[in-house]
Amino acid sequence: MSKKRLAAFFALVFSTLLFLSFSPKVHAEKTYTIGTDVTYPPFEFANKNNKYVGIDMDLMKAIAKEEGFKVNIKALGFNAAVQSLQSNQIDGVIAGMSITPERKQKFDFSDPYYKTGVVMAVAKNSKIKGLSDLRGKRVALKTGTAAADYAQSQQKKYGFKTVTFDDSDNMYNDVVNGNSVACFEDIPVMQYAIKTGTKLKIVTKPANSGYYGFAVLKGHNKDLVQKFNHGLKTLKKNGEYKKITDRYLSTDTVKSQKEANTKKGNEHSVFGLLKQNSGVLLKGLGQTLYLTVVGIIAATIFGVIIGLLGVLPNKFARGFSTTVIYIFRGLPLLVLALFIYNGIPSLTGSKIPAFIAGTITLMLNEGAYTAAFVKGGIEAVDAGQMEAARSLGLPFGKAMSKVILPQGIKIMIPSFINQFIITLKDTSILSIIGILELTQTGKIIIARNLEGFKVWGIVALMYLIIITLLTWLSKYVEKKMNN
């Protein structure tokens, strides 16, 4: 009887496997990572709930739903998004990206989804009326944009100077505050910014007319471009495309947005901004502290090893230590971050997550400084201490661990805590590779409410509080060590 039951069990298992192997397979929805800008309303910006919305965002999500795939939106900033696509870190970019012959050499574009043109804007009270009035003056541009390319193509003819920014809000403010006399921007973006409260005015007709397109790396993700094109056609036929554009560009929508931006109530006071954005600010601070702790641990381990190599009685070890310290202290943190996040994947073809790239950047840069003061702390101990220990018969390793290091650590402790403070501040630079830390969070909030002075004041105060606490800790530890 048991044998029959066993045979029946195996027969059931076999028939189940046979059925599954021949039954139609259900494919899980594929997820694509899509890079976008941080502040580019009405195409992409964060709403009051700090969720990314805009024509590009709604269009991408609607096409994904229509075509049966998922999207993971990464707000990197335009220039960082383009570089991430070039290094194959992301699958595509939708960020008001103009289709140009130069970009077609590196990227495959979808069918155009929006017509645009470049205009020049100046401060409301400015007397500048056109390009001919720019000679000898400074103009603000946004890095990597078609508007910037157009402005630079006119620079020699009209004799103006340029300064570049990574986001639109800082570019606009540079003109509003009088540091630059004009800026160049795509017309729908500039019109939306002015209608929602930015104190600028357009003084030129649209030039260099072109189209926005969704981009993928050349020769990659052809199926994604096909899905985008098919979904775009469907949305235009069923009227959903018009609904999306009207949602952000119709007169009523823009008017209500302007009223929200110019509202003088509690929402735009410092306390109102804190209340409205406390959750996202604390999340950004948490990411900053987490990145700092992980980075300083990695940097300490790396730095101690390299520092100890620098005091070994071995020419190769000393030379290696000196070279590592020289290289990574000499490289700017921003350059190192972009090289690790975008440069290495371009060479290897392997993706590096932004957090890992940020941690490696901090480890190498801060670790080089740590190695320098570890080496210096050990060398600060009187050379007679090592000679005395060796004369007593202690081998080099024991003499170092039992005699030299305990004295050297007392010298190093304040420098360790000071390095922690420096690392905390340096995390702000990593927003360039899309890490949503405190500085990046501030940029996103400002793009929505245009309260740059107040938001940066809040962010600065948060940094100052943490750094003050760490400074007190440093002095307390130093006092204890001295006692």
For the chain, what is the total number of helices (H) and then of strands (E)?
Answer: 20, 13
What local confidence, expressed as pLDDT, does residue 405 receive? 65
The CATH number of 116-211 is 3.40.190.10
Domains 31-113+213-255 and 268-482 share a fold: no
Average pLDDT value for residue range 370-378: 80
Distance CA 339, CA 342 (A): 5
Residues 416, 266 contacting (CB under 8 angstroms): no
Distance CA 299, CA 359 (A): 9
What local confidence, expressed as pLDDT, does residue 10 receive? 47
What local confidence, expressed as pLDDT, does residue 41 receive? 81
Distance CA 401, CA 99 (A): 62
Residue 483 has pLDDT above 80, yes or no: no
Which listed CATH number (3.40.718.10, 3.40.50.10490, 3.30.420.40, 3.40.190.10) goes with 31-113+213-255?
A: 3.40.190.10
At 11, the pLDDT band (50, 70, 90 cuts) reads low
At 22, the pLDDT band (50, 70, 90 cuts) reads very low
Domain assignments of the chain as residue spans, ordered by start: 31-113+213-255, 116-211, 268-482
Least confident window among 277-281, 295-299, 385-389: 385-389
How much is the pTM? Answer: 0.66
383-388: Cβ within 8 A, 24+ apart: none
The bridge status of strand 182-186 relative to strand 114-123 is antiparallel
What local confidence, expressed as pLDDT, does residue 352 receive? 81
Residue 459 has pLDDT above 80, yes or no: yes
Both tokens of residue 384? 């007679």
Average pLDDT value for residue range 359-372: 89
Distance CA 204, CA 202 (A): 6
Residue 307 has pLDDT above 90, yes or no: no
Least confident window among 78-82, 201-205, 406-410: 406-410
At 25, the pLDDT band (50, 70, 90 cuts) reads very low
Average pLDDT value for residue range 125-131: 92
More confident residue, 239 or 435: 239
Residue 408 has pLDDT above 60, yes or no: yes
Both tokens of residue 317? 């070890």
Residue 115 has pLDDT above 50, yes or no: yes
Give the rounded percent of residues in the chain with a pLDDT score beyond 90: 26
Per CATH, the architecture of 268-482 is what?
Orthogonal Bundle (1.10)
Torsion of CA 430, 41, 55, 441, to 10 degrees: 30
Residues 185, 127 contacting (CB under 8 angstroms): no
| Run of H or E residues at 73 | strand 70-75
pLDDT, tens digit (0-9, with 9 covering 90-100), for 266-280? 556 677 777 777 777
What local confidence, expressed as pLDDT, does residue 18 receive? 44
What local confidence, expressed as pLDDT, does residue 15 receive? 53
The bridge status of strand 70-75 relative to strand 52-53 is unpaired
* Arithmetic mean of pLDDT over the chain: 81
Average pLDDT value for residue range 460-473: 86
Least confident window among 152-166, 250-264, 365-379: 250-264
pLDDT, tens digit (0-9, with 9 covering 90-100), for 131-172? 999 999 999 998 878 889 899 999 999 999 999 987 787 888
Residue 192 CA, chain-centre distance (Å), reads 24
What local confidence, expressed as pLDDT, does residue 268 receive? 60
Indicate the angle between helix axes 405-426 and 452-482, nearest 10 degrees: 170
Average pLDDT value for residue range 193-215: 88
Max avg pLDDT among 25-34, 68-77, 412-421? 68-77
Distance CA 370, CA 300 (A): 6
